[in-house]
Chain A
Amino acid sequence: MASYRLRINGVERTIESSDPDQPLLYGLRGIGLTATKFGCGLGQCGACSVLIDGRATRSCLETVADAAGKSVVTLEGLGSVSAPHPVQAAFIKEQVPQCGYCTGGMIISAVALLTEKQKPTEDDIRTALEGNLCRCGTHVRVIRAVMAASGQGG
């Protein structure tokens, strides 16, 4: 059993694993950070997105060994019900989620986009979120929430 040290949501954490190829996703969920969802394990859907050193990353493809030493932010690390991140607050205000299973990954991708581009166009948002799948059909509200979070529209 090896130990991998990561900075997760601003705190030094250790993930134990006997397999260096274990995806970070399982490591995060194993220490109780379950907002990061298993969707496909193939990097196709975006439900498992986290920020690694600020970049939206599929935690189902990133191994725990590769993530060692890096800074990881999960949905829980962005904010809470009482103190939500501006993107989370916008998603709440727009009542985005239905089942909500994909929503966390959407918020992570949106945060990464807004870090790169403070005032994205609708097309920027559509492109940035192309890899995030939603089955309930909340897309229109996602776009509206990201626009609102960037101080546009809403």
Chain B
Amino acid sequence: MSAQLARALFTRRAALKAGALMVGFAFAGLSGRAFAEGAVAATRRLDPHDVDSFLAVNADGTVTLFCGKVDLGQGLRIAMRQIAGEELGIGVDMIKYIEGDTALTPDQGRTSGSNGIQRGGMQIRQAAATAREALIALAAQRLNMTAGDLVAQDGEVQPKNGGVGIRFAELIGEREFDLKLNPKAPLKDPATYSLVGRPLPRPDVPAKCTGSFTYMHDFTVPGMAHARVIRPPAVGAKLIAVDESSIKHLPSASVVRIKDFLAVIADDEWAAVCAARALRAQWTEWSGLPAQDKLIATLRGDPDIKDEVLIMRGPAGPVERDGATMRSATFFWPMQSHGSIGPSCAVADVGSDAATVWTASQGTHGNHKTFARFLGLPEERVRLIYLDGAGCYGMNGHEDAAADAAILSRAVGRPVRVQWMREDEHGWDPKGPPQLLDLSGMVDSAGRIFAWRTEMWLPQTTQGLPNIPLLAPAAAGLDEVRGLEPGLISQNADPPYAADSVQVVAHWLKDAPLRPAPIRSPGKPANCFAVESFTDELAAAAGLDPVEFRLRGLADPRGIEVIRRAAALMNWQTRPSPGPSKSAAMMRGRGLAYVHYKHSESYVAMGMDVAVERASGEIRVERVACAFDCGQIINPDGVHAQVEGSILQTLSRVLMEEVQFDRSRVTSVDWNSYPILRFPDVPRLEIALIDRPTERPLGAGEASCTPVGAALANAVFDATGARLRTVPFTPERVKAALSAA
């Protein structure tokens, strides 16, 4: 999409379709240049407490929905329309949609933590409910009727008993609601829903399937230069010298150097690629990474560990009971890459006093402060606009690419597009951190857990800091907050089952070997892998069926139901593990794991059927059965797609993925050295969604990632009698476990 077209779309959308409701709104400038030319600053309401920040009734009868959360492929574009349209009383095709633009949409926080619907969607629901109440009140006045006799539907307020209604546009078109979100505005009875709960198609799908969808990677601005950034050969290396003559055969290319930040720019993209490959630069030696084969010992031995007791239920000291033996086990989850299929890309146009950055980041609003700070600009002069990228599943390289582009654009005085190469994305995306867990526990003679202790080693989250340091500002020596934010990685480290004594201790590491960042369902896949594998170990030690053992300790009826549903899908045969085939050449087994996500959100139970080949150590996952309860379902097809994706992506992480590194740098920088799941590896999926229309809707994009590791490890144990406690479950590890079993 050209900037001209983008500008046309922008003005059309914002100034016409959104209508004159946005009183005082003026074109804020699509580019830094427009900012710099003194365009009037935006006066659109952005306060997430104001109805007008979310909704505008347009003169043509449509409604524009302004959403601070972004659609990363998870389907918010339709789900948010369903929520708003349902509550307001207007069809989804009458709702226009603007998302993730710091100048136009309210800050609803990052699109992360699986909270798009459960937080962002609920703000929109309340805004729409408040608006509907206002529209009905306006109509009641006009019609001289009571509000109770009126209903909002099809974009009108209509008398319930029939008769002529009044269109929303007539009631308020071209005016603001001028209302705060009313948390008590009555919500529709779910029994009367006509939009929420239906599998409406996602509006971006046809364009994505026919090639007309504009991704971040496809976006251009007139006069734009193409750039490639040259990262150092070692994580901490400093730039000594650059030999600019090494690219003199590429006359359109030139070098940009700001301290240790090195890039080439060219008018033509291929020339930029060639220049980046040809450019000779001299860097300092650096080998500060830990040895990969000693990573676990390095984590345990970190001299800067800070201990924190996260959970202490029951007696504090050691617990003993006659006849019970303490069991213990250690689990490890390695560093993993987000593995985006498209390397990160961004475009920026930065002038001396304003900046516009187009980015595929999950956090346009969340990055606003960070970008303003390193660019040395006031926040209101920095605008971040979301465009879809390749899926990021957390914080991949999108933010770094955007920072690259912003710094380069400012340096060269023209818009710059930065496209990372494959080795940049694999090598430099911030990584899911390593997680080490020591678990111990005991089961009493009645087959119940009575003592449990989790100790976990994981990088700290630095409170109140918005970001990990971005690569470019750090290399260029710009002002940046140096925080760590790997996500809420300590959750679900305690069992969801009744126990007399539960202790969870975090050994917070000051740093991680490679920049840590949230990766889908941060921390929880590792914690649940440990907790639910260890639960299985306790069940096996007690000679109990794994499903029966779990149900004994569980009181939450929604938890019980997902376990029963998953077991039913599996045709679960009640017996202890391991099963009968553990000495066969091809061993088969089944396993199950359960999670109540963050102990407060969605419920998931997942069973797996596996075959393990003794000779090769290869695991074949034949079937995954998942029962999933995320409360009220907004769009069942969207939820189903998220559960499918969560299962397959996490299977890939569990079976195959581990970032490889030497003492200087990441060495797994392509799809051969960092393999992911392929079509022949894909199991049959059976997913049961449990809709609870009267419960609050919960996130669907993360929770079902969480039990994958344990469900698989438990199935492998059932098949083989061997316990896998280190991810990924490579054939070598399986063979080692088999020979140790």
Residues of A within 8 A of B (CB): 17, 19, 22-23, 26, 29-30, 33-42, 44-45, 47, 74-76, 78-81, 84, 88, 91-92, 95-104, 107, 125-127, 129-143
Contacting B644 at CB < 8 Å: which of A19, A41, A140? A140
Chain A residues positioned under 8 Å from B522 (CB to CB): none
Contacting B676 at CB < 8 Å: which of A39, A129, A135, A138? A135
Contacting B211 at CB < 8 Å: which of A45, A75, A92? A75
| Cβ B649 vs Cβ A136 within 8 A | yes
A-B contact pairs, 15 of them (CB 8 A): A33-B211, A35-B211, A36-B211, A37-B390, A41-B421, A42-B671, A44-B670, A76-B210, A99-B72, A100-B73, A130-B680, A133-B676, A135-B340, A137-B648, A139-B648
Residues of B within 8 A of A (CB): 72-75, 201-202, 204-215, 217-218, 268-270, 273-274, 339-343, 388-391, 393, 419, 421-422, 637, 641, 644-649, 652, 670-672, 676-680, 682, 685
How far is it, in angstroms, between the C-alpha of A100 and the C-alpha of B217 when the chains are bound?
Answer: 13
How far is it, in angstroms, between the C-alpha of A141 and the C-alpha of B637 when the chains are bound?
Answer: 11
Main secondary structure on A side of the interface with B: loop
Q: A38-B217, A47-B341, A99-B389 are in contact. Are A135 and B649 (CB under 8 A)?
A: yes
Closest 6 CB pairs of A and B: A35-B211, A137-B648, A98-B73, A100-B208, A137-B645, A99-B391
Contacting B269 at CB < 8 Å: which of A29, A80, A92? A29
Chain B residues positioned under 8 Å from A96 (CB to CB): 205, 209
| Cβ B211 vs Cβ A74 within 8 A | yes
Q: Which of A45, A84, A135, A143 has the most CB of B within 10 A?
A: A135
User: How many residue pairs bridge A and B at CB < 8 Å?
Assistant: 179
| Cβ B671 vs Cβ A138 within 8 A | no
Contacting A107 at CB < 8 Å: which of B204, B209, B270, B343? B209
How far is it, in angstroms, between the C-alpha of A37 and the C-alpha of B215 when the chains are bound?
Answer: 10
How far is it, in angstroms, between the C-alpha of A143 and the C-alpha of B681 when the chains are bound?
Answer: 13
Closest chain A residue, CB of each to CB of B637: A95
Q: A40-B670, A96-B209, A101-B389 are in contact. List 4 more A-B contacts (CB 8 A).
A: A38-B217, A100-B73, A101-B341, A137-B649
Q: Which of A23, A42, A130, A139 has the most CB of B within 10 A?
A: A139
How far is it, in angstroms, between the C-alpha of A60 and the C-alpha of B210 when the chains are bound?
Answer: 20
How far is it, in angstroms, between the C-alpha of A37 and the C-alpha of B390 when the chains are bound?
Answer: 10
Chain A residues positioned under 8 Å from B211 (CB to CB): 33-36, 74-76, 104
Chain A residues positioned under 8 Å from B685 (CB to CB): 140
Q: A99-B72, A99-B388 are in contact. Are A138 and B644 (CB under 8 A)?
A: yes
A113 → chain B, closest Cβ, in Å? 12
How far is it, in angstroms, between the C-alpha of A26 and the C-alpha of B228 when the chains are bound?
Answer: 14
Chain B residues positioned under 8 Å from A129 (CB to CB): 679
Contacting B641 at CB < 8 Å: which of A29, A37, A98? A98
| Cβ A103 vs Cβ B647 within 8 A | no
| Cβ A130 vs Cβ B209 within 8 A | no
How far is it, in angstroms, between the C-alpha of A97 and the C-alpha of B638 when the chains are bound?
Answer: 11
Chain B residues positioned under 8 Å from A139 (CB to CB): 648, 677, 679, 682
A147 → chain B, closest Cβ, in Å? 13
B609 → chain A, closest Cβ, in Å? 16
How far is it, in angstroms, between the C-alpha of A102 and the C-alpha of B648 when the chains are bound?
Answer: 15
B360 → chain A, closest Cβ, in Å? 9
How far is it, in angstroms, between the C-alpha of A116 and the C-alpha of B209 when the chains are bound?
Answer: 21
Q: Which of A80, A84, A92, A130 has the most CB of B within 10 A?
A: A92
B290 → chain A, closest Cβ, in Å? 28
| Cβ B341 vs Cβ A134 within 8 A | yes
| Cβ B215 vs Cβ A101 within 8 A | yes
Chain A residues positioned under 8 Å from B204 (CB to CB): 97, 100
Chain B residues positioned under 8 Å from A36 (CB to CB): 211
Chain B residues positioned under 8 Å from A127 (CB to CB): 679-680
Q: A40-B670, A45-B341 are in contact. Are A26 and B269 (CB under 8 A)?
A: yes
How far is it, in angstroms, between the C-alpha of A39 and the C-alpha of B215 when the chains are bound?
Answer: 13
Chain B residues positioned under 8 Å from A88 (CB to CB): 209-210
| Cβ B679 vs Cβ A98 within 8 A | no
How far is it, in angstroms, between the C-alpha of A95 and the C-alpha of B646 when the chains are bound?
Answer: 16
Q: Which of B75, B206, B340, B680 has the most CB of A within 10 A?
A: B206
A111 → chain B, closest Cβ, in Å? 12
| Cβ A19 vs Cβ B671 within 8 A | no
